[in-house]
Amino acid sequence: MSCGTLTVKMMTKPRAINIRGTSGCGKSHLVKEVMKLYDNKTPHFTSGRRRPIGYTLDRKNGAPLYVVGHYEELCGGCDTIIGLDAIYDEIHAAIDQKLDVIFEGLIVCSDVERCIELNVYTRLLVIELDTPLDECISNIQDRRYIRGDTRPVNPKHTIAKMDQLVPQRKRFESAGLDFRLLDYKWALVDVKEFLEIEEASV
């Protein structure tokens, strides 16, 4: 296979983006901001769910994007779906339809191998948000206040999840993936660039 043929084959693969990070780092907020850049949003429902299991987004002069999980509340994404099997079923179903995919959630941060496997079927971008711990805690507290919960945040689980992500970085990099450790601002810039979104044309 020539280099030219290989390049064409890679470019015909759908794109997949996994946003990773601890609680309160801005994963859901980032996906919501990306969703605003699309003209149309079609929710998809399955039996037994009141909320969508995902959305297909469309925009002018661009490829459609499948968003896994719902964003009808403050937090969303894959954490609104029960189990990794169901989550990756959604991801692979979208890939089979040649849709670009974006997904995030604490539950998928517990997995590395399934995410790495997506690189076989997609052009995969993995972004970990390096939001400072104190900012994450503040964001979690703000969400609680909105729900009427005034209890102080115990940072133990947030710190544990943050620590869990550190060794995963080497696994992604050693697998040859496009892995980026970014703050929120640059993560949003890179996602838009990866999806070839030009805001002025939306």
Q: Is residue 95 part of a domain?
A: yes
Tens-digit pLDDT profile for residues 72-83: 987 789 999 999
Percent pLDDT > 70 in the chain is 93
Q: What is the pTM of this model?
A: 0.90
What is the rounded CA–CA span in Å between residue 57 and residue 100? Answer: 10
Q: Name the more confident of 101 and 4.
A: 101
pLDDT confidence tier of residue 63, bands split at 50, 70 and 90: very high
**How big is the CA angle at 33 (ends 31 and 37), to the nearest 5 degrees?**
110
pLDDT reported for residue 12: 83
Across the chain, mean pLDDT equals 91
The verdict on residue 26 lying in a domain is: yes
Weakest mean pLDDT among 65-69, 72-76, 132-136 = 72-76
The verdict on residue 160 lying in a domain is yes
Number of structural domains (the chain) is 1
The verdict on residue 122 lying in a domain is yes
Q: Is the per-residue pLDDT at 190 higher than 90?
A: yes
6 is a domain residue: no
- DSSP E strands in the chain: the ranges are 15-20, 40-44, 54-58, 65-68, 100-104, 123-129, 178-182
On the question of pLDDT at 2 being above 70, the answer is: no
The whole domain housing 164 covers: 14-194
Length reported for the chain: 202
At residue 195, the pLDDT reads: 97
Name the DSSP class of 152: P
